[in-house]
């Protein structure tokens, strides 16, 4: 009898150990800025595993259970060079049940995949495919990326991108920086000599995450303690850490805004702040001194800063602070201190205490060629309104919410110069996979944005409109575009364009034309008869209509219907 009790107790202990959630300590305010672990390619290969699992995030003011890569916040930094092969295995260590099933609503919180944000890389499996590749609970998926020879070096990041679970995974811990290293001799000697720090900024909108977890039927995300602001930012996993520098020393900071809802509106105390790159793309007019850095959720900025010490020679602290949005009725900015730069020690003499020398990248690959005076390929200028075109509200892309992988919003052929007239980018951060884009104007007038700058994630609260261009070089396939307020994207503010079509097309959703696009451009395929095409198009339209009716029925059915539908099959498939 007693033995049985002991055995049972032992089994319980073993069970608890086996399922024990890994604890991540959050360094308290004022601790030195941590350096995320870096995994760097050797001999042209980086072969790594990201395992997505539960972590217990514990600090003096916070105690939450959430999801992270490899048990750390942020995940390890991946560092590769152009031309490398990156093998990235996603191991999903989360368990069943799958949680609620739904469509344009948070669902399946334990199903995952991965996106390399900002990289000019193939959108097709086994590379940056976020539409079909996924790993359910206890499954894994193997990604292989041939990093393009012409990939420009810069600061990128990696995060999960499975429709319906992006907010809860990427927005609550699962994110890692990704660097494409500068080739030897690429930077100026002055820039090359700078200390270079990666800062992954992970904002946790705690109330919103709790709400999203509830919607998804998530059993993992849990807040045990939260004595912080409603939105608090972890910098390399620490709360308001301190970066210590020498007075007068120039320092390169790679800021990765791995937030998912609010943007950052950063000032750097009395430090001089020069912009070097945005979204991993070097600007053409370095050093561009900016009073503030605007980081939309998902955006990056490489800045070079120099901070003064105290007059008497002592230490001086400069708070890097984000302020609430300067105007109302636009996207919300996080307010609060992100980190502190402490200038301490002997004032630095020598090279780095000089002024900054102008520098621009010695070469730009084809996909980053200046398009300001290019001719837009006929038919390739389309409007993409984010949210309702009049009010800017709603989780819509050009009037539609996400319907399925093969309803293309716009299409374009390879090697086209494409123009998009964006609307609603004061509320919704527009993000585009595969192809970064070039701004054709600076309607908002802020010195942070200039006509000719490149971005992959764009938000400017001072102007609802922006015109941008990109050139469809190097890769064909589905081009995913969405709002990087990830609860909007999970809610349906995501669409796909098709690169590699016969010709350009705008607003194809709902037209039979998109059936043709789906088949990969029928014109070239002489064998397919006109009759067969028409027949397929009709069948496709009918099927689409049926799916739409079914979906709207289900969406209206509300939360109670989930229990009946159970978990398991993916309705979107
Ligand atoms: C997801 O995985 C976690 C951790 O394994 C588990 O506790 C939870 O029950 C799973 N399902 C849901 C819907 O949260
Ligand atoms: Cu949005």
Write down the pLDDT at residue 485. 94
Ligand 2 centroid distance, CA of 484 (Å): 6
Q: For 446-497, write each residue's pLDDT tens digit.
A: 999 999 999 999 999 999 999 999 999 999 999 999 999 999 999 999 999 9
pLDDT of res. 332: 94
Tell whether the model's pLDDT for residue 350 goes beyond 70: no
Q: Indicate which ligand has the atom closest to the C-alpha of 392.
A: 2
> Which atom number of ligand 1 is nearest to the Cα of residue 217?
13
Please tell me the number of the ligand nearest to residue 66's CA: 1
For 517, list phi and psi in degrees, rounded to 5.
-60, -40
Q: Whose CA is nearest to atom 13 of ligand 1?
A: 99
Four-residue CA torsion sign, 394, 161, 235, 463: negative
pLDDT of residue 384: 96
CA distances from 241 to 60, 63, 199, 500 (A): 14, 18, 11, 47
Among 21, 66, 137, 219, name the best residue to mutate to test ligand 1's pocket (greatest count of ligand atoms within 8 A of Cβ): 219
Q: Helix, strand, coil: what percent of the chain each, to 5? A: 15, 35, 50
Q: Give the end-to-end CA distance of the chain in Å, rounded to a whole number.
A: 53
Q: How far apart are CA 523 and CA 500, in angstroms?
A: 13
387's tokens: 């949210």
Between 137 and 546, whose confidence is greater?
137
Q: Compute the mean pLDDT over every residue in the chain, rounded to the nearest whole number.
A: 87
Q: Summarize pLDDT for 174-224 with one digit per residue, the tens.
A: 999 999 999 999 999 999 999 999 999 999 999 999 999 999 999 999 999
Cα distance between residue 481 and residue 433, in whole Å: 6
> 443 C-alpha to center of ligand 2: Å?
20
Q: How many Cα neighbours within 13 Å face the side chain of 436?
A: 30
- Residue 378 has a CB neighbour count (10 Å cut-off) of 9
pLDDT digits (tens, 9 = 90+) for 105-156: 999 999 999 999 999 999 999 999 999 999 999 999 999 999 999 999 999 9
Ligand minimally distant from the alpha carbon of residue 296? 2
Query: What CA–CA distance (Å, rounded) separates 493 from 334?
Result: 22
Return the residue matching tokens 């370095």: 286
- The answer to which of 43-57, 260-274, 404-418 has the lowest mean pLDDT is 404-418
Atom index in ligand 1 nearest the CA of residue 219 equals 14
Task: Dump pLDDT digits (tens) for 493-517.
Answer: 999 999 999 999 999 986 543 333 3
Place of tokens 């067969």: 532
Tell me which residues have their CB closer than 6 angstroms to ligand 1: 54, 94-95, 97, 99, 109-110, 217-220
Q: Which of 51, 64, 96 to mutate to test the pocket of ligand 1 (most atoms within 8 A of CB)?
A: 96
Q: Residue 125: what pLDDT? A: 95
Residue 59 has pLDDT above 50, yes or no: yes
Q: Each residue of 22-45: b (16+ CB within 10 Å) or e?
A: eebebbebeeebbebeebebeeee
Nearest ligand 1 atom to alpha carbon 216: 13
pLDDT of residue 564: 24
In this structure, the strands spanning 316-322 and 336-343 are antiparallel
pLDDT at 543 over 60: no
């Amino acid at each position: 009898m007693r033995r049985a009790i002991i055995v049972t107790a032992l089994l319980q202990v073993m069970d608890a150990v086996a399922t024990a959630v890994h604890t991540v300590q959050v360094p308290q305010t004022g601790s030195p800025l941590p350096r995320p672990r870096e995994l760097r390619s050797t001999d042209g290969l980086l072969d790594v595993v990201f395992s997505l699992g539960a972590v217990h995030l514990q600090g003096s003011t916070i105690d939450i259970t959430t999801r992270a890569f490899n048990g750390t916040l942020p995940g390890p930094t991946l560092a590769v060079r152009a031309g490398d092969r990156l093998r990235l295995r996603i191991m999903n260590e989360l368990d069943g049940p799958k949680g609620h099933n739904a469509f344009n609503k948070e669902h399946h919180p334990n199903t995952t995949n991965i996106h390399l944000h900002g990289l000019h890389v193939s959108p097709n499996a086994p590379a940056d495919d976020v539409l079909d590749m996924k790993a359910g609970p206890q499954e894994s998926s193997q990604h292989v990326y041939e990093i393009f020879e012409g990939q420009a070096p810069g600061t990128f990041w990696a995060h999960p991108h499975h429709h319906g679970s992006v907010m809860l995974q990427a927005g609550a811990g699962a994110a890692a920086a990704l660097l494409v290293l500068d080739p030897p001799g690429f930077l100026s000697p002055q820039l090359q000599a700078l200390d270079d720090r990666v800062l992954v900024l992970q904002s946790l909108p705690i109330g919103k995450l709790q709400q999203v977890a509830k919607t998804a039927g998530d059993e993992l995300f849990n807040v045990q303690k939260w004595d912080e602001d409603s939105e608090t930012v972890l910098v390399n996993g620490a709360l308001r850490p301190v970066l210590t520098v020498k007075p007068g020393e120039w320092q390169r900071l790679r800021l990765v805004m791995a937030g998912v809802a609010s943007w950052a509106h950063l000032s750097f105390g009395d430090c001089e702040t020069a912009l070097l790159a945005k979204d991993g793309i070097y600007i053409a007019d370095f050093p561009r001194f900016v009073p503030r850095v605007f980081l939309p959720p998902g955006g990056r900025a490489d800045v070079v800063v120099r901070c003064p010490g105290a007059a008497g020679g002592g230490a001086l602290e400069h708070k890097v602070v984000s302020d609430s949005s300067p105007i109302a009725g636009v996207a919300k900015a996080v307010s609060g201190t992100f980190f502190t730069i402490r200038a301490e020690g002997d004032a630095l003499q020598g090279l780095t205490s000089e002024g900054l020398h102008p520098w621009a990248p010695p070469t730009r690959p084809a996909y980053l060629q200046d398009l300001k005076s290019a001719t837009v390929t006929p038919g390739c200028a389309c409007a993409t309104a984010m949210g309702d075109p009049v009010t800017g509200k709603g989780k819509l892309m050009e009037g539609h919410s996400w319907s399925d992988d093969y309803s293309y919003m716009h299409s374009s052929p390879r090697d086209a110069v494409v123009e998009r007239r964006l609307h609603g980018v004061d509320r919704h951060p527009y993000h585009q996979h595969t192809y970064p884009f070039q701004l054709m104007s600076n309607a908002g007038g802020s010195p942070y944005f200039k006509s000719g700058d490149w971005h992959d994630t764009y938000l400017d609260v001072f102007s609802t409109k922006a015109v941008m261009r990109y050139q469809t070089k190097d890769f064909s396939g589905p081009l995913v575009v969405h709002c990087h307020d990830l609860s909007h994207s999970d809610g349906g503010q995501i669409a796909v364009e098709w690169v590699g079509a016969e010709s350009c097309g705008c607003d194809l959703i709902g037209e039979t034309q998109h059936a043709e696009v789906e088949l990969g451009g029928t014109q070239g395929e002489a064998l397919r008869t006109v009759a067969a095409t028409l027949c397929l198009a009709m069948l496709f339209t009918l099927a689409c209509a049926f799916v739409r009716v079914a979906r709207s029925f289900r969406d209206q059915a509300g939360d109670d219907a989930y229990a009946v539908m159970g978990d398991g099959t993916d309705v979107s498939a």
